């Protein structure tokens, strides 16, 4: 079974630009979450999508947005990039059970560098 696939693996952008990151979840997983990892703040939750609907959102500015498609693939977009957006962006997929509890399986991440 293929794992969570994130593309691209590495990205360099200039301040003020926008960027789109892609995530393909594990087959059958309908929940996709995004996380940002930085040395100073650690791993922080961005948002979670389930069946094309955003169910949960973290404390990030509106420049960070996402969407999920009918095949559960997800994209996240960051507009007007700032130097502080440089981070490892991680996508996780989950097979949510009836009880609502599920482990999240992570992709390799996209390393975004803003210069």
Partner 1 sequence: DQQVKQNSPSLSVQEGRISILNCDYTNSMFDYFLWYKKYPAEGPTFLISISSIKDKNEDGRFTVFLNKSAKHLSLHIVPSQPGDSAVYFCAANIQGAQKLVFGQGTRLTINP
Minimum gap (Å) between residue 88 Cβ and partner 1: 7
- Binders of partner 1 among 76-115, rule CB under 8 A? 88, 90, 92, 94, 96, 99-109, 111
Taking CB under 8 A as the criterion, the residue among 15, 43, 82, 113 binding partner 1 is 43
Asked whether position 4 contacts partner 1 by CB under 8 A, the answer is yes
Asked whether position 12 contacts partner 1 by CB under 8 A, the answer is no
Residues in the chain: 115
Asked if residues 83 and 15 have their Cβ atoms less than 8 Å apart, the reply is yes
Nearer to partner 1, 19 or 49 (CB): 49
Residues 6+ apart with CB under 8 A from 68: 32, 49, 50, 51, 52, 53, 54, 74
Q: How would you label 49-78 residue by residue, b for 16+ Cβ within 10 Å and e otherwise?
A: bbeeeeeeeeebeeebbbebeeebebbbeb
Nearer to partner 1, 16 or 61 (CB): 61
Asked whether position 65 contacts partner 1 by CB under 8 A, the answer is no
Asked whether position 74 contacts partner 1 by CB under 8 A, the answer is no
């Amino acid at each position: 079974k293929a794992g969570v696939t994130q593309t691209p693996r590495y990205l360099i952008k200039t301040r003020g630009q926008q960027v789109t990151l892609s995530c393909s979840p594990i087959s059958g997983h309908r929940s996709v979450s995004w996380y940002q990892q930085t040395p100073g703040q650690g791993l922080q939750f961005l948002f979670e999508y389930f069946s094309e609907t955003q169910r949960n959102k973290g404390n990030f500015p509106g420049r960070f947005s996402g969407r999920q498609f009918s095949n559960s693939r997800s994209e996240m977009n960051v507009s007007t990039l700032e130097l502080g957006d440089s981070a490892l962006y991680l996508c996780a997929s989950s097979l949510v059970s009836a009880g609502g509890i599920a482990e999240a399986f992570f992709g390799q991440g996209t390393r975004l560098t803003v210069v």
